[in-house]
Amino acid sequence: VIWMTQSPSLLSASTGDRVIISCRLSQGVGTSLAWYRHQPGKAPELLIYAASTLQSGVPSRFTGSGSGTDFTLTINSLQSEDFATYYCQQYYTLPRTFGPGTKVEIK
């Protein structure tokens, strides 16, 4: 099983801020990593796959980078709908595993 950590677990920010979320894995996955945004009461949304490929329809303020065991999600100019919880997920091997989440809250 590939274990994942995310930092920070909680991030306080304001609209317009730039935020960076980190995801670290217990073993390398190449670029087999995805990022999701999960707003309360809604379905999770795929933002990034293959570590840095923006899903169709996702705003360009979201950027993913990294490979191996260390990845980051950057959100430029935070919008109101971005106050949510973010998860990384590896799909290099089974079982698919998610990070514990990073909650982005309003400062």
β-strand partners of 61: none
Per-residue interface string for the shown chain with another protein, residues 60-99, x marking contact by CB under 8 A: ---------------------------x-x-x--xxxxxx
- Residues in 36-55 that interact with another protein by CB under 8 A: 36, 38, 42-46, 49, 55
52 Cβ contact list (under 8 Å, min separation 6) = 31, 63, 64, 65, 66
- Phi-psi domain of 67 (left: phi exceeds 0; alpha: psi -120 through 50; beta: other): beta
The binding site for another protein (CB under 8 A) comprises 32, 34, 36, 38, 42-46, 49, 55, 87, 89, 91, 94-101
